[in-house]
A = this chain, B = another copy of it.
Amino acid sequence: MSNNQFKKGELYSFITGKASTAMARRLQKNFKQHGIEITIEQWSVLYHLWKQDGLSQQELCSATFRDKPSITRLVDNLEKLKLVKRVASKEDRRMNLINLTEAAKKLQDQTMDMANQTLNEALGGVTAEEIEICKSVLQRVYDNLK
């Protein structure tokens, strides 16, 4: 049992570990080299708006697994960059609906290509089956803890 726990302890370093940040940093670098001056955190917000424009900040919280203050500032910074605009909802005046600008729409294809390319690099030598298992493990870890 203590042996088993030690093995799990090793996994801990991988999960908190740096595969994800290595990927984030690589993607960020690709953006920068192509003159795209957004952070991957900002990109992850745009990612969900590209799938569906006009989400509320609360919906962005759920979609990106962030808390409210985090989304407030990410939207602040995206607004400064003129990539989104807050629009007060008419049905519920507490809500801000976040709308993409034309500039943000233009970023979609370009950055999605870079993201896919980064993923191809990252997943070199990994089979589709292993990917599925890894996805499902990470999903269960998340579900177990949330």
Contact = CB atoms under 8 A, between A and B. Distances in A.
B134 A22 contact: no
Nearest to A25: B145
A17 B138 contact: yes
Interface residues of A, number: 53
A139 interface: yes
Main secondary structure of the interface of A (DSSP, over half): helix
B144 A137 contact: no
A123 B21 contact: no
Contact of A12 (B13, B16, B119, B141): B119
A14 B137 CA distance: 10
Contact of A8 (B4, B21, B131, B138): B131
A12 B43 CA distance: 12
A134 B134 CA distance: 5
Interface of A: 4-5, 7-26, 40, 44, 47, 65, 112, 115-116, 119-126, 128, 130-131, 133-142, 144-146
